[in-house]
Amino acid sequence: MTSDPAPPHVTVRDLLEVPRFRLRLVGGEGGLDRPVRWAHSTELLDPGPYLDGNEIVLTVGAALRDAGACAAFVDSAKAGRASAIGYGVGDMTDTVPDELRLACDRVGLPLLEVPPEVPFLGFTEWFAERLASAGDERHEREETGRLLRMVRDGLASAEALRPRIDDAGLDFAALLVVAMDGTVDEDLPGVLGQADNTALLVTNDAHVWTEPAGVGSAGPLEHLPLSIAESLTALDSARRTGGVVYASDLATFQALLDRLDQDQLAPFLEQIARPLSDYDAAHGTRLTETLRAFLDMGGAVGATSRALFLHPNTLRHRLSRIESLTGRDPMTFEDRVALAIAVWAGR
């Protein structure tokens, strides 16, 4: 079987010669020598802001209802430095719309007809395969990182990573992702990708080589999108708290609190924590301490009374005062959660 051509620098003209795509040029002949770095599929009328440059923009034309929409789409792709547009026939229309062809001719953007039997996913997988064999390790890591992000977002299949995982000798039954802060230059046991100052390592080993880091859960190849998402969420938490955060740590109240930023915590501080601390300072009371103990005891009046050496009625009086100052009833679960967030933030 003859493999598809994979020149180091792919142009629009090269894509027309890839056997698996069976593309046909229908417009914009003047731009055939433009480089194409990646494929981006979209049905947005304004794709430009989501492009990084030198992509082939793939669409089935769901938003291209008339000449005005076609012109707006092409102008946006051009502004985003796209190299070409690929129109998939068979879903919305059986042929490429003339309005789209005219718009592409106007700006000199190549327009390619994609046959109905060719999935858009095949383009990203082909580019990933091409880049994997290019030999440029740094560039390969960047594109691997990009591909891992696309797998997480459902824009590419985890199957696109199978050749790399196989080459790394990993066990396909127990794959996990370790997300690390910064750039990793050393050789690690797995498939390493670099994206947005974050290193993503597909591996079988939950050992962490640097901190902060986030570790996703292990599973088969189809589990990989979840493990990627978990590792990135865990890394974000680890950046705030330091150390290493595992996927199993994410489903906790403390982990949820760690992911709240200052703007999200501000209402709890202003509406709950501050009124209590101000009242304590002005009246010499211990409402904040009482609330903290009540929360630590799981909202049990008897246990809290014994811990604070208070009569239960005295405790209930303090809890009533807390409710009047904050508008949150410590005896109800939902309000108790809000009070717990405020106490944690106040610390």
CA distance 40 to 124: 8
> At which residue do the structure tokens 């999108």 appear?
225
What is the rounded average pLDDT of the residues 75-82?
94
> DSSP assignment, residue 216?
P
E strands, 172-231, are 176-181, 191-195, 198-203, 213-215
Higher pLDDT, 305 or 261: 305
- What token pair was written down for 219? 């599973």
CA 165, CA 173: separation in Å to the nearest integer?
11
Give one DSSP letter per residue of 54-118, joined into a string. Answer: SEEEEE--TT--SHHHHHHHHHHHHHTT-SEEEEETTSS-SS--HHHHHHHHHHT--EEEEPTTS
Q: Which residues contact 255 (CB under 8 A, 6 or more apart)?
A: 237, 245, 249
The per-residue pLDDT for range 5-64, each reduced to its tens digit, is 434 468 999 999 999 999 999 999 989 989 898 999 999 999 999 998 899 999 999 999
pLDDT tens sequence across 95-111: 999 999 999 999 999 99
Confidence grade of residue 133 (pLDDT, cut at 50, 70, 90): low
Whether this model's pTM surpasses 0.85:
no
Cα dist from 279 to 115, 234, 276, 282, whole Å: 71, 38, 5, 5
Amino acid at 57: V
137 pLDDT more than 90: no
Whether omega before 212 lies within 30 degrees of 0, making that bond cis, reads yes
pLDDT at 87 over 80: yes
Q: What is the mean pLDDT of residues 113-135?
A: 84
pLDDT tens, residue by residue, 271-304: 999 999 999 999 999 999 999 999 999 999 999 9
pLDDT higher than threshold 90 for residue 263: no
Helix, strand, coil distribution of the chain in percent, nearest 5: 50, 15, 35
Distance CA 96, CA 73 (A): 14
